[in-house]
Amino acid sequence: MISRREFVVAATAAASLTAASGRSLAQAASSGKLTQDDLLRFDAVGKVTLLHLTDTHAQLNPIYFREPSVNLGVGETKGLPPHLTGAAFLDKFKVKPNSPQAYALTSEDFVALAKAYGRMGGFDRIATLVKAIRAERGDDNVLLLAGGDELQGSWTSLQTKGEDVLSALKALKLDAMVGHWEFTYGAERVKEIADAGPFAFLAQNIRSLEWQEEVFPAAKVFERGGAKIAVIGQAYPRTPIANPRWMIPDWEFGLREDDLRKQVESARSGGADVVVLLSHNGFDVDRKMAGRVRGIDVILTAHTHDAIPTAIEVDKTLLIASGSHGKFLSRLDLDVKDGKVAGYRFGLIPVFSDAIAPDAEMAKLVTDARAPYAAELAREIGRTESVLYRRGNFNGTLDDVICQAMIEQRDVEIALSPAFRWGTSLLPGDPITFEAISNATAVTYPNCYRSTMTGKQFKDVLEDVADNIFNPDPYFQGGGDMVRLGGVGYAIDIAQPIGRRISNLTLLKSGASIEADKSYTVAGWASVNQNVEGPPIWELVERHVADRKTIKVEPTDAIKVSGA
Amino acid sequence: MTLFEQAHSRREALRVAAIAAAVVALTPRLAFAKPEEVKAEIDKLYGAREMTTGKLKLDMPEIAENGLVVPINIEVESPMTEADYVKSVSVFAEGNPFPRVLTYRFTPACGRAAASLRMRLAQTQNVIAVAETSTGQLYTARSEVKVTIGGCGG
């Protein structure tokens, strides 16, 4: 019998995304030809295969998505995956620079590599992989789980309240999912989705406010490969804080660690051989939880969009991070013996759209779902000369464009844009279509308000958001990256406590310091408050791009970071 | 049923409502208590007696979803017999207008020393609970609750 320890060694030694025998992915990559077979090659282990797909953000078609170049960890997570970027990431996971894996996993040489290796993801390509793995392993041995943020992030999903992606997930024969942005379609819609099935919509950590009753089933037991697998669902615990609570007014979320312990115990006493937490906590929260809640074999992580090429072990729990936007499909083979996980093999399969043949059935489903909106989506508004992306702790060029649009279109001194982790990237020379704009803005609360704020209020907001990212205790973190700013520069010391991180707030136009008791005109969007007035953000961005015709984003040093 | 005693007598009128739902709405314009005031209040009530942790469970969210009604669950691991029972549990907040928020009083007939309430928290702060048994044992627990503006998606 192969021990768990040996599997880890094997996986590391292979130094490729899939711990494969024979021609490895790295070899395939260096030979210049990467085939579907290379991506699917896998030394199967045991009888059970878990497939994990997460944070696809409704991207049905292949996309570009630039991974962050800045992703800082604080406290105990400092320097640990996923808080490694660029060369440090490549070093840690022994990924060759300029290889397809380097392109998929980091932002190093992103533009050149994107041109060489093409778009990633697409549900038709994912369907090809899923079908092939089902054929290899047998349908009865495969469990397909989605980690949430699947139904939001595109124009078509916004128009259909996620129905377009739902049909795609059902066609993949999804077994279970959890939620976060799903809840921004409102309580009624989420209930409708959950009740319709046929997959299970799980959440051990949602209660009715009044009676503290479960709103969704906490867990479901599946029989796969002769083993009983209990899947416990964990919705994004901070949904009512990070997103509009008024859309889900009767539900209470939270981490609910004690309740999770009870779920694990009840799964074990019910005879589960494997306990899986299908989680939308975010990686650092899951790592902490893995150390505090015993008896979970696998945590399938989500929310923070991390793609990690190996399983991370915390005591006896495996943490899997499967990236976002359909860029990756995770495969975890489990060898289950005597009611225990005796061995495993993990592969983070990059979905290179140029290497994988699209599944015809899914391709048709996607085309049909998009057809009513095709003309709208394809409308070209302008072009970009710069690479446009969002992801990163402090800024992204796409957010610079959105902030500039707000400053000009709403005539304000300061623009605030939420630092969502989702949104697709554009390469220099790409057209800026309406679809490209909506891929970064399609939310159910898009109104762009115009208001005034004192310097003190403004600083308080920044301190608050900074603490949601850089609080050294992951359980006190929440939300996205640091709020994006237009018109303002600042310094941030991430090692300080709340109230002391932000300094040197400056209006970039005049160079004047922001004064605590002075009022400033401010625009922002995606406010969690109800009845926010103003045009939807995509309209403002469209007008801005149409005015400019060509977008060029100059590099900025408006944010000075220390304490990392 | 838990017996309930409001910390401030002028709130007597709230008593029934508090037993039912235990929502303590504090007036927002008052100055906030400071950690030193909470310490002084605890010293005043219990003297400088030793307190142990572990027996009293104070279950609160790490981050409040709605600072107006933050759920709190309290449970004391203790016998509830005539000879040895939990007499009272008091809750203190370091960043609210009054240092002592409320005191629950129990009898052996309660069967178990447990209570749930919802309280308003004006800002990020520590909430402290102290339980006193009929034999004079003191148990304590502390929980930091973050009250955030939030609203940055993810």
All structural domains of chain B: 3-145 (2.60.40.2470)
Chain A touched by B150 (CB under 8 Å): yes
Q: Which residues pair with B6 in a beta bridge?
A: B102
pLDDT of A7 reads 31
Contact of B47 with chain A, judged by CB distance below 8 Å, is answered with: no
Mark yes or no for CB contact A483/B62 under 8 Å: no
Q: What is the pLDDT of residues A276-290, one digit of tens each?
A: 999 999 999 999 999
Question: What pLDDT was estimated at residue B96?
Answer: 85
Mean pLDDT of A481-508: 97
For A61-105, the pLDDT digits (tens) are 999 999 999 999 999 999 999 999 999 999 999 999 999 999 999
Query: Given an 8 Å threshold on Cβ–Cβ distance, is B148 in contact with A241?
Result: yes
Q: Are strands B138-145 and B125-133 parallel, antiparallel or unpaired?
A: antiparallel
Residue B66 and residue A236: Cβ atoms within 8 Å? no
For B27-82, write each residue's pLDDT tens digit.
334 567 788 999 999 999 999 899 999 999 999 999 999 988 999 999 999 999 99
Quick check: A464 contacting B, CB < 8 Å?
yes
More confident residue, A449 or B4: A449
Per-residue confidence (pLDDT) for residue B154, from 0 to 100: 59
Please say whether the beta carbons of A564 and A497 come within 8 A: no
Residue A28: pLDDT band (50, 70, 90) is low
| Residues on chain A touching B144 (C-beta within 8 angstroms) | 476
Look at phi and psi of residue A162 and say left if phi exceeds 0, alpha if psi is from -120 to 50, else beta.
Answer: left
Sheet holding A488-493, edge to edge: A502-507, A488-493, A559-562
The beta-carbon neighbor of B153 closest among A254, A479, A498 is A479
CB contact under 8 A, B154 and A236: yes
What integer pLDDT is reported at residue A27 of this predicted model? 57
Inter-chain residue contact A242 with B151, CB threshold 8 Å: yes
Neighbours of A375 (CB within 10 A): 9
Asked if A476 lies within 8 A of B66 by C-beta distance, the reply is: no
Q: Enter the pTM of the model.
A: 0.90
Count of CB atoms situated within 10 Å of the CB of A433: 18
pLDDT over threshold 90, residue A250: yes
The radius of gyration computed from the CA coordinates of chain A, to the nearest angstrom, equals 23
CA dist B143 and B60 (Å) reads 7
Mean residue pLDDT across chain A:
94
Q: Which single residue is written with the structure tokens 């709103």?
A: A215
CA distance B10 to A318: 55
Mean pLDDT computed over A250-262: 97
Q: Can you give the pLDDT at residue B152?
A: 61
- Does the pLDDT of residue A431 top 80, yes or no? yes
Cβ separation of A478 and B154 shorter than 8 Å? yes
- A444-469: pLDDT as tens digits: 999 999 999 999 999 999 999 999 99
How does pLDDT run across A360-416, given as a tens digit for each residue? 999 999 999 999 999 999 999 999 999 999 999 999 999 999 999 999 999 999 999
Q: Say what the pLDDT of residue A210 is.
A: 87
Mutate: best of A239, A241, A303, partner B, most B CBs <10 A: A241
Q: Is B118 on the interface with A (CB under 8 A)?
A: no
pLDDT, tens digit, for every residue of B6-40?
A: 333 333 333 333 333 333 333 334 567 788 999 99
Which pLDDT score is estimated for B30?
A: 53
Cβ–Cβ of A478/B124 closer than 8 Å? no
Cβ neighbours of residue A33 under 8 Å, at least 6 residues apart?
A: none
Predicted confidence (pLDDT) per residue in A319-357, tens digit: 999 999 999 999 999 999 999 999 999 999 999 999 999
Confidence at A19, pLDDT banded by 50, 70, 90: very low
The mean pLDDT value of chain B amounts to 81
A531: left (phi over 0), alpha (psi -120 to 50) or beta: left
Is residue A8 pLDDT above 50, yes or no?
Answer: no
Strand-pair category, A340-350 with A328-337? antiparallel
- The winner for highest mean pLDDT among A429-443, A473-487, B3-17 is A429-443
What average pLDDT does range A50-56 have in this prediction? 98
Kindly state the tokens that stand for A268. Answer: 């074990």
Indicate the angle between helix axes A163-171 and A360-370, nearest 10 degrees: 170
* B83 and chain A in contact, CB less than 8 A: no
Please compute, for residue A221, the number of CA atoms within 13 A of its CA located in the half-sphere on the CB side: 15
Q: What are the chain B neighbours of A471 within 8 Å (beta carbons)? A: 146
- pLDDT on residue B24: 34
The encoded tokens of residue B125 equal 């702060």
- Over 70: is that where the pLDDT of B151 sits? no
Mutation site, B63, B118, B124, B126, interface A, largest A CB count within 10 A: B63
Residue B151 with chain A: CB contacts under 8 Å: 241-243, 418, 479, 526-528
Helices then strands, counting H and E runs in chain B, come out as 2, 10
Does B65 contact A465 at a Cβ distance shorter than 8 Å?
no
Q: What is the predicted pLDDT for the residue at A479?
A: 84
Please compute the mean of the pLDDT values over residues A134-149 and round it to a whole number: 98
pLDDT surpassing 80 at residue A31: no
* SS3 category, A457: helix
- Does the CB of A558 have a partner CB in chain B at under 8 Å? no
| Domains along the sequence of chain A with CATH | 4-62+72-368 (3.60.21.10), 379-562 (3.90.780.10)
pLDDT digits (tens, 9 = 90+) for A167-181: 999 999 999 999 999
